[in-house]
């Protein structure tokens, strides 16, 4: 398979046609080999415009959704970024080209090891991978100017909001109902968090973060 051509087609047909205009972000998607972040048996599907299952109920986020979230986060060269549930590390590698430093917080130990190995092979030297509970964030490196969540959540954990710097931005797919999410941007200013809806999506939910069933009378 001609991955370089597939990568260019992804950028032209999936990103530029969906309001991705940040030159640095587009360059990162053009240059990073997405196929290196998925199991070898799935590499032929690496550039499809949908969430790509990689095992264990986890997915590599659809390129367009990832790009729109990162663009909304307005990552700057001096920023410290937390990438939550970044599975294979692809989003982390994209963010590492835009920010000063990135922490990938991954709950699955095997996925964390795979991401770390791929980032090392690609010489992404301003990102680290840690294993932990996404609901708790990673306070050791906080505060963060940007937090990107790469899976849908029923609600944003309070710990993540606490770890946002003043003026910090958090982007995530927020679960509205089964099969429907909204990409959202949350921003902290003077200790108050505001929220803005961005776009509809169908990102799979992070296991353990589904909406809790309520009582029915």
User: Domain locations in the chain?
Assistant: 3-201
pLDDT in tens, 95-151: 999 999 999 999 999 999 999 999 999 999 999 999 999 999 999 999 999 999 999
Name the maximum alpha-carbon separation found in the chain.
Answer: 57
Question: What is the per-residue pLDDT for 95?
Answer: 98
Chain-centre distance of CA 198, in angstroms? 15
Give every CB contact of residue 7 below 8 A, 6+ residues apart in sequence. Answer: 29, 30, 33, 34, 47
pLDDT in tens, 139-149: 999 999 999 99
Cα–Cα distance, 194 to 187 (Å, whole number) = 5
Percent of the chain with pLDDT over 70: 96
**Average pLDDT over all residues of the chain:** 93
Query: Concatenated DSSP letters for 35-63?
Result: GGGS-GGGGGGTTSSS-EEEETTEEEPPH
- Token pair for 79: 């920023």
In the predicted structure, residue 211 carries a pLDDT above the cut 80: no
In the predicted structure, residue 210 carries a pLDDT above the cut 50: yes
pTM exceeds 0.85, yes or no: yes
In the predicted structure, residue 2 carries a pLDDT above the cut 50: yes
Cα–Cα distance, 103 to 140 (Å, whole number) = 10
At residue 217 the predicted structure's pLDDT band, cuts being 50, 70 and 90, is very low
- Token pair for 95: 């963010």
Identify the CATH number of the domain defined by range 3-201. 3.40.50.150
Give every CB contact of residue 168 below 8 A, 6+ residues apart in sequence. Answer: 143, 144, 145, 146, 147, 187, 188
């Amino acid at each position: 398979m001609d991955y370089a051509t597939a990568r260019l087609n992804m950028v032209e047909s999936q990103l530029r046609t969906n309001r991705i205009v940040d030159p640095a972000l587009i360059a990162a998607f053009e240059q990073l080999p997405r196929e290196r972040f998925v199991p070898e048996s799935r590499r032929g599907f690496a550039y499809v415009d949908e969430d790509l299952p990689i095992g264990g109920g986890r997915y590599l986020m659809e390129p367009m959704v990832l790009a729109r979230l990162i663009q909304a986060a307005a990552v700057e060269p001096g920023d410290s970024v937390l990438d939550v549930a970044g599975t294979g590390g692809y989003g982390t590698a994209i963010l590492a080209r835009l920010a000063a430093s990135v922490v990938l917080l991954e709950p699955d130990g095997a996925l964390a090891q795979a991401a770390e190995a791929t980032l090392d092979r690609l010489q992404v030297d301003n990102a680290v991978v840690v294993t932990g509970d996404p609901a708790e964030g990673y306070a050791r490196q906080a505060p963060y100017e940007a937090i990107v969540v790469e899976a849908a959540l029923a609600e944003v954990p309070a710990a993540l909001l606490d770890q946002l710097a003043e003026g910090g931005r958090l982007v995530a797919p927020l679960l509205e109902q089964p099969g429907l999410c909204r990409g959202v941007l949350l921003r902290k200013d003077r200790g108050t968090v505001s929220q803005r809806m961005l776009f509809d999506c169908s990102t799979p939910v992070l296991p353990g973060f589904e909406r809790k069933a309520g009582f029915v009378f």
